[in-house]
Amino acid sequence: MGNELYRHCLREENKMTKFKDLGLKEEVLRGITDQGFEEAFEIQEAVIPVLLSGRDVVGQAHTGSGKTAAFALSMLNDITPKKGIQGLIMAPTRELAMQISTEIKKMGKHTGIRIATVYGGQGMGIQLDALHRGVEIIVATPGRLIDHLKRGSIELGDITHIVLDEADTMLDMGFVDDIQFILDLSPEDRVMSLFSATMPTAILRLSEDYLHNPKQFLLDADDLSGEGIDQSFLVIKDRDKFKYLLDFIKKTRGQSVVFCSTKYRTRDVAKFLHQEKYNAVAIEGDMSQSRREQSMGKFRSGKADILVATDVASRGIDVPKVELVVNYDVPNQEMAYFHRIGRTARAGAEGKAITFVSYSSVGDWNIIKRQIKVPLRDLNQEMNIEISIPDPLKRQSSPRRYGGGGSRSNYSRGGSRGGGYGRGGGYGRGGGGGYGRDNRGGKRRDNDNDGKNSYGGRSRW
């Protein structure tokens, strides 16, 4: 579509940009300094001046790259207090929406700009009160925002700035119609930015339909492999996982996140950890909103050392200081792996990610492994743990297959969407149903209108 495409290379140390060189106002700069930010991250340096100039932006960047400040600072800079709702940020989950709000409130401390967070699962009353007091920026999940639009408690007529954060996740969650509905109600003349970890065609289409000649930034197209994260895996029997989890956790000083494939597993693992006297909290799809907030709060404040979670918690949630991510179960989508391990090594810190591969998940793991472009440590080799895969699986699971790093095959963005593991056959243990999962390739469609949780009450997550 004639859009310019910019690929940013890693900057050299001496080329760091200060926030004050980006054209931001004094009171916004003070908020940034209060936060302790000194130099702008790459995406911030790239995106802020463009948004300030009034041009739309499409940005692809991995988690932890600093997208929130990239879109929020220009918004805080341009919005006027007491002149109605001018900024709208949409995000896929309530956790993410709350996190964005918290961060903007801190950055905007000296601007007098007020922010309301609008998401399903919280009573309407609290949100209506905040809206009545007056706000300039709304951070919302699409479902609940539509409820407010329909009842007239939010109007979009004065909107000048719109952000779609984690757009690919919103699409995955089935929010595309909601997003279109909302965008159709907002003024044509606004600055809009769209951020996404991946750029499947559905996102490109959305951006063609709703953004005006956006400047595109592909910040780390090659960085989905979790570079900078010490990645390893261990093939073990499912029933041995807990024992190994304890071993790894004992060696960890900082906080850990443990990802499980279902809410049942999440609960079990959290329960085991409690029995072992660990300070663990859980987040899964069936928990009430307030309990999820409680867990997240404890973890974020450092009162809990371990967070056990389903993928609900892995999307875009910024948990600083996580040292270890354990994939207790192999994720059921390639992208989930990168989202999960993205919880560690944030903002340049170092981190570790260990994936437990049960014998029945070897096929799934092989698929994911091919997308990992950095050296991957084989803990079976390092720790001398033998793999004895029962007969039916033997054929494709001899230990030698685990040697060496992942292949360097290019990850085809978009290719994995929708079709899931369409390339299936080749990896299979022969025949259908071979992976023992019931939902392969199927996308979650639940949305979070007033729902009990972001992924709907009946999901396995």
Q: Which residues bind ligand ADP (CB under 6 A)?
A: 37, 40-41, 44, 61, 63-69, 316, 318, 320, 346-347
Characterize the bridge pairing of strands 191-196 and 161-164. Answer: parallel
The one-letter amino acid at 354:
I
**Whose structure tokens read 């071979």?**
434
Nearer to Mg ion, 67 or 144 (CB): 67
**Whose structure tokens read 């089935």?**
174
Binds 446: which of ligand ADP, Mg ion, none (CB < 5-8 Å by kind): none
Nearer to Mg ion, 32 or 354 (CB): 32
Contacting residues toward Mg ion, per CB under 5 A:
67, 316
The one-letter amino acid at 335:
M
Q: Give CA–CA dist 449/146, Å, rounded.
A: 8
In whole angstroms, how close is the CB of 91 to ligand ADP at the nearest point? 10
Indicate the residue whose CB is closest to ligand ADP.
Answer: 68
The sign of the dihedral angle between the CA atoms of 304, 306, 309, 314 is positive
Nearer to ligand ADP, 349 or 385 (CB): 349
Binds 346: which of ligand ADP, Mg ion, none (CB < 5-8 Å by kind): ligand ADP
Residue 428's CB is within 10 A of a number of other CB atoms, namely 14
In whole angstroms, how close is the CB of 65 to ligand ADP at the nearest point? 4
In whole angstroms, how close is the CB of 2 to ligand ADP at the nearest point? 27
Cα-based angle 232, 269, 339 (whole degrees, multiple of 5): 45
In whole angstroms, how close is the CB of 179 to Mg ion at the nearest point? 17
Binds 69: which of ligand ADP, Mg ion, none (CB < 5-8 Å by kind): ligand ADP
Nearer to ligand ADP, 89 or 282 (CB): 89
**Whose structure tokens read 């994936």?**
355
Nearer to ligand ADP, 104 or 362 (CB): 104
DSSP 87-148: EEEE-SSHHHHHHHHHHHHHHTTTTT--EEEE-TTS-HHHHHHHHHH--SEEEE-HHHHHHH
Query: Which residues, 6+ apart, have CB-to-CB distance to 168 below 8 Å?
Result: 196, 197, 198, 199, 200, 203, 417
Binds 447: which of Mg ion, ligand ADP, none (CB < 5-8 Å by kind): none
In whole angstroms, how close is the CB of 247 to ligand ADP at the nearest point? 29
Nearer to ligand ADP, 222 or 247 (CB): 222
Q: Give CA–CA dist 240/245, Å, rounded.
A: 9
The one-letter amino acid at 429:
R
Binds 40: which of Mg ion, ligand ADP, none (CB < 5-8 Å by kind): ligand ADP
Structure token digits, residue 379: 């803990």
In whole angstroms, how close is the CB of 58 to ligand ADP at the nearest point? 14
Binds 278: which of Mg ion, ligand ADP, none (CB < 5-8 Å by kind): none
- The number of angstroms, rounded, from the C-alpha of 439 to the middle of its chain's C-alpha atoms is 21
Nearer to ligand ADP, 265 or 343 (CB): 343
In whole angstroms, how close is the CB of 164 to ligand ADP at the nearest point? 13
